[in-house]
């Protein structure tokens, strides 16, 4: 069975945008492309066109094209099983500085247990309609412990710091670290269970299970669930936001938007097939599927590991014909901090502000 996305009717998406009431006061700084951005070896960038290859001229044209594009991507990623009961078990609970942090275990695929941290204000159980975030960790041996604030670098404790700001945050562990010794073992076990699914299909599936878990909580507002991630977590955020319209907005930090900008060809992501001359897909199409939900990209431009920067505008600009079909400003942009593959404190504050305005509204 193909991955099942969650797509809201276009009318509901349009109505949800009117609920923002405001934008981040720095939006104009991140939605203007530099002149003539260049992306080396960008791969094939198909124009986003309507029926019979004609340019998109109306929102209705895009609404007819969108399911077709979605199906192309689903067929490439491959099938994953139905998402069943979570069967959640609490492993550990602690309350620190007004935040409750629960280590929980639950079913991703049937019988495949995964761990994650659920963080929220200590009084959340008595509250209703709280905004929530799926926070996806980067490549790091600490995995969920660092992003959830258990140990590690303060700059990487994204989930913990967002919970301190009043969000319900769920930090699931990526399958590459769950009960395996290395990435190769994780990929091999995934392929035994799902032989026709890419590694990225598994990451998307697991991220959607994180949304399922948040939706199961009575105190979470299901219309205000966002996604955020850095590096590997940013890759997952891109796919989750594109394929799951339960996500109202997203922040993608240094994931490498270009297919050749980082190791997208690794077997735990998309595989070597993306290098074939006739490979038709590219990530501007996922940005188009996200429209018109607010989506912020963060780039560090240069230095060791830097994956995004002005060059990423090539793909952002390629998605703009779809975004421009919707009313209001295109809430799709790039904040280029030019400090490499990192999340400097002022940049995190911008990320948190994006969440405050577009998710906690």
pLDDT per residue as tens, the chain (361 positions): 444 454 443 333 333 444 567 999 999 999 999 998 988 877 889 999 876 778 899 999 999 999 999 999 999 999 999 999 999 999 999 999 999 999 999 999 988 999 999 999 998 766 778 999 999 999 999 999 999 999 999 999 999 999 999 999 999 999 999 999 999 999 999 999 999 999 999 999 999 999 999 999 999 999 999 999 999 999 999 999 999 999 999 999 999 999 999 999 999 999 999 999 899 999 999 999 999 999 999 999 999 999 999 999 999 999 999 999 999 899 999 999 999 999 999 999 999 999 999 998 8
Q: Is residue 349 part of a domain?
A: yes
DSSP H/E element including 192: helix 183-193
What is the residue-wise DSSP string for 233-271? HHHHHHHHHHHBTTEEEEEEES--SSTTTSSTTSTTTT-
Give the structural domain span for 154.
10-358
Q: Is residue 190 part of a domain?
A: yes
Q: Is residue 130 part of a domain?
A: yes
235 and 243 in contact (C-beta within 8 Å)? Answer: no
Q: Is residue 5 part of a domain?
A: no
Q: Is residue 2 part of a domain?
A: no
- Give the C-alpha separation, 14 to 12, whole Å: 5
* CATH number assigned to the domain comprising residue 162: 3.40.50.1820
- Domain count along the chain: 1
Q: Is residue 1 part of a domain?
A: no
Closest CA to 177 of 222, 140, 150: 140
- What does pTM read for this prediction? 0.94
- Give the C-alpha separation, 31 to 25, whole Å: 12
Q: Is residue 244 part of a domain?
A: yes
């Amino acid at each position: 069975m193909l991955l099942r996305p969650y797509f809201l009717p276009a009318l509901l998406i349009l109505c949800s945008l009117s609920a923002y009431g405001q934008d981040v006061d720095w939006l104009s700084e991140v939605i203007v492309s530099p002149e003539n951005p260049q992306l080396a070896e960008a791969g094939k960038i198909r124009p986003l066109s309507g029926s019979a290859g004609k340019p998109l001229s109306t929102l209705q044209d895009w609404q007819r094209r969108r399911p077709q594009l979605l199906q192309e991507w689903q067929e490439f990623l491959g099938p994953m099983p139905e998402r069943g009961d979570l069967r959640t078990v609490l492993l550990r609970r602690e309350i620190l500085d007004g935040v409750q942090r629960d280590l929980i275990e639950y079913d991703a695929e049937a019988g495949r247990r995964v761990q994650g941290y659920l963080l929220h204000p200590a009084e959340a159980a008595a509250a209703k309609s709280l905004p929530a975030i799926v926070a996806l960790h980067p490549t790091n041996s600490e995995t969920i412990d660092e992003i959830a604030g258990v140990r590690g670098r303060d700059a990487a404790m994204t989930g913990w710091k967002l919970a301190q700001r009043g969000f319900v945050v769920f930090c699931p562990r990526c399958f590459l670290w769950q009960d395996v010794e290395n990435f190769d073992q994780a990929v091999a076990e995934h392929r035994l269970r799902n032989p026709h699914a890419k590694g990225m299909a598994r990451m998307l599936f697991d991220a959607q299970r994180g949304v399922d878990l948040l939706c199961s909580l009575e105190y979470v507002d299901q219309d205000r669930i966002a996604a955020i991630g850095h590096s590997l977590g940013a890759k997952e955020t891109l796919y989750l936001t594109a394929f799951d319209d339960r996500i109202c907005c997203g922040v993608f930090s240094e994931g490498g938007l270009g297919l050749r900008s980082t190791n997208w060809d690794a077997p735990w992501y998309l595989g070597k097939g993306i290098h074939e001359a006739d490979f038709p897909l590219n990530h501007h199409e996922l940005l188009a599927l996200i429209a018109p939900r607010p989506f912020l990209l963060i780039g560090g431009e240069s230095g060791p590991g830097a994956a995004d920067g002005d060059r990423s505008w090539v793909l952002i600009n390629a998605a703009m014909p779809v975004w421009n079909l919707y009313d209001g400003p295109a809430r799709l942009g790039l904040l280029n901090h030019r400090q490499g593959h990192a999340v400097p404190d002022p940049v995190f504050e911008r990320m948190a502000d994006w969440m405050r305005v577009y998710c906690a509204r």
